[in-house]
Amino acid sequence: MGATQPSPDAIEAAAALLRAGRLVAFPTETVYGLGADATNGEAVARIFAAKGRPRFNPLIVHVADLEAATAIAEIGPVARRLADAFWPGPLTLVLPRRPHTALSHLVTAGLETVAVRVPSHPIASALLRATGRPLAAPSANRSGHVSTTTAAHVATDLGASVAMILDAGPAQYGVESTILDATGRELRLLRPGAVPSEAIAAVVGYTPALFSAANPERPSAPGQFESHYAPRAGVRLDASHARPGEALLAFGPRVPPHDGHTINLSPSGDLIEAAANLFSALRELDRSGSPGIAVMTIPEHGLGMAINDRLRRAAAPRPADPPFDQGSRCS
C-alpha cells in the first residue's frame, strides 16, 4: 500500500467539500483525478478553470457501481457484458446519456452521450459512496501537462485550486483508462489505455477499431462520433442586440431589450456561472425554434476563452452538414 491511506474522516471531509461544490483530487487505479460533483455545473466549470483548459471537452463521469451508472446512462447488452467483465476497473464506456438526469450539461459538453467509469481504487470507491453523487474527474494536471500519478505531483500542478488532495501513494497503472464508444452498432476505441484491446476482444469477439477524430472513416451514422455539440440555429457573435426572430444569449447586467426568447448566462457577469449554463442555454434556445441565436460579447479571459471557443465553433459554417436538408433532396 502507498505511504498514506486517507482515514474515513478524511474521506467524509472530502465528500462534504465535493457536495459543497469544491474540487477534490483523489487517487484512482489509473492516475489521480480532479473531482467535482457532476450534477453541479459551477463545480464542473471550476475543473476547467483549475486545469487552465482552453476548451470545454466532455469529462469522464465516475460512479460507484453499475447501478449508479444505470441512473445516468443507457447500458445496452454489449456495454453490460463489458461492465460485467471490467468494472470496477480502468475501462470508460461512452454511452447514451439518459434524458432526465441530474448531470450538468457542461460535464458532457452538451452531448447526448456520457463517458462513464467505475474506478476500482478503494479510496475512489469510498469517496464516491460517501459523496453519493457522480463525480466528474479528468486527470489532475494542468492542461498540456502529463497526468499525475502521485499526490505530490497534483499539489505541484494544481496546488491552490483544489480544496483537498487525498493521498494514497502512487497510482497503480500510471496510464489513463481505455475509452470505448459503445453508442453505435460496433464498438470504437476512442483512447487506448489501461485495458488492452486483446482483453476487450476476448469479451466481445472482435478488436474495436481505433477511432481518430482527425481521420474519421466513412461516418456510417452521421453525428455518431460527433465530439462537439452544435446548435441547429445559426449563431451570431458579438451582437449588440437581437434582430427580430432571433433568440438572445445574454451575459452580464446590461441586456438590450428584446421581445423574443432570452437567456442570460450570468446576470452578474460571472464567467464560472456562465460556463455552467452555456450548453443548457444553447439547447433551450435551440428548442425555442428561433432560426438564429444572437450572442452578446463575452470577455475573452478566464473561462470566457473556453466559452468563446465553443461559441465560435457553433457560429462557424459546418462543412460536415449536407448542403440541403432532406426535404429538398432528390431521391
Collect all residues with Cβ–Cβ distance below 8 Å to 67 and sequence separation of at least 6: none
Of 5, 57, 161, 262, which lies in the binding site for ligand TXA, with binding defined by CB under 6 A?
57
Rounded distance, CA 186 to CA 207, Å? 10
Is 178 a binding residue for Mg ion by CB under 5 A? The answer is no
Alpha-carbon distance values, 266 to 116, 118, 281, 298 (Å) = 29, 34, 11, 10
Rounded distance, CA 292 to CA 235, Å? 6
What sign results for the dihedral spanned by CA atoms 229, 144, 211, 30? negative
Is 92 a binding residue for ligand TXA by CB under 6 A? The answer is yes
Supply the minimum distance, in Å, between the C-beta of residue 82 and ligand TXA. Answer: 15
Q: Please list every residue from 220 through 249 that binds ligand TXA, using CB under 6 A.
A: 227
Interface segment toward ligand TXA; rule CB under 6 A; list 152-160, 172-180, 250-258, 304-312? 172-180
Determine contact, residues 270/280, Cβ cutoff 8 Å.
no
Determine contact, residues 126/25, Cβ cutoff 8 Å.
no
Determine contact, residues 44/59, Cβ cutoff 8 Å.
yes
Rounded distance, CA 152 to CA 159, Å? 9
Interface segment toward ligand TXA; rule CB under 6 A; list 4-12, 53-61, 250-258, 266-274? 53-61
Which of Mg ion, ligand TXA, none does residue 113 bind to, with CB < 5 to 8 Å depending on kind? ligand TXA
Q: Which is nearer to ligand TXA, 136 or 314 (CB)?
A: 136
Is 101 a binding residue for ligand TXA by CB under 6 A? The answer is no
Determine contact, residues 103/97, Cβ cutoff 8 Å.
yes
Of 31, 103, 195, 281, which lies in the binding site for ligand TXA, with binding defined by CB under 6 A?
31
Binding mask 119-148 for Mg ion (x = CB under 5 A): --------------------x---------
Determine contact, residues 266/280, Cβ cutoff 8 Å.
no
Is 158 a binding residue for ligand TXA by CB under 6 A? The answer is no
Which of ligand TXA, Mg ion, none does residue 28 bind to, with CB < 5 to 8 Å depending on kind? ligand TXA
The residues of the shown chain that bind ligand TXA, judged by CB under 6 A, are 28, 30-31, 33, 57-60, 92, 94, 108, 111, 113-115, 117, 137-139, 176-177, 179, 190-191, 227
